[in-house]
Structure 1
Amino acid sequence: MTKSELITLIGTKQQHLNQRDVELAVNTIILTLTNSVASQERIEIRGFGGFTTLDRKTRIGRNPKTGEAVSVPNRRAVHFKPGLDLRQKVNASRLEYKIRDL
């Protein structure tokens, strides 16, 4: 699902809101989450999951084409840990998919 699809879906489910208000709300939420993670704040949305940043140390990597050793600088990476409700729904949908195939 893309951001525009999400905006359209929310707009059709919440018909009392106009499309511009839904778009503004979604963009504000995404911007707030992005700014929080960028400033190394932890974000937790109960039932959905949490976002944190992890520090990756400098390491020696390999160029896959030449096999030459390359220094990979330290950096930060975003880590998402799904919440219990999300994991249960994903696992339940996987079981439903397997049952339909039988």
Structure 2
Amino acid sequence: MNKLELIHALQDSHNLTKTEATKCVEIFFGEMAKALEKGDRVEIRGLCSFHIKTYDSYAGRNPRSGEKVVVKQKKLPFFKAGTELKQRVDRAG
């Protein structure tokens, strides 16, 4: 399912206009992104959680030239499936 399909599902299930459904989805994902930008953890009970993981800088190697390079410290978002979601997926498969 992509963002547009989510908008259509929300629109159909709650008799919303496409504009209203789009606004709901934009607000939801926008607020999640803002929380993650601040370093907060986002948890949707029964479904999943997101958190930011920080990696220290390290010495790497350019695969093309073999030259050593310093990879800067970085932060990446991580997704963790909730127990209920894991069980639902397992039953469906």
Please give the TM-score of this superposition, normalised by the length of structure 2: 0.91
Bigger CA radius of gyration = 1
> What is the identity percentage for the equivalent residue pairs of Structure 1 and Structure 2?
29
* C-alpha deviation, 1:4, in angstroms: 1.2
Within the alignment, does 1:10 sit opposite 2:20 as a pair? no
Within the alignment, does 1:55 sit opposite 2:54 as a pair? yes
| Alignment partners' CA distance in 1, 2:66 and 2:47 | 41
| Alignment partners' CA distance in 2, 1:65 and 1:92 | 45
Superposed, 1:63-78 pairs within 5 Å as: 63-78=62-77
Q: Secondary structure at the match of 1:85?
A: helix
| Alignment partners' CA distance in 2, 1:9 and 1:30 | 16
| Alignment partners' CA distance in 2, 1:56 and 1:71 | 13
| Alignment partners' CA distance in 2, 1:58 and 1:2 | 34
Q: Secondary structure at the match of 1:4?
A: helix
* C-alpha deviation, 1:38, in angstroms: 0.3
Superposed, 1:1-102 pairs within 5 Å as: 1-15=1-15, 17-94=16-93
State the one-letter code of the partner of 1:10. Answer: L
Deviates most, 38-47 or 57-66: 57-66
Please give the TM-score of this superposition, normalised by the length of structure 1: 0.83
Structure 1 gaps, min length 5: 95-102
State the one-letter code of the partner of 1:2. Answer: N
| Alignment partners' CA distance in 1, 2:89 and 2:63 | 34
RMSD: 1.2
Structure 2 gaps, min length 5: none
Moved over 3 A (4+): none
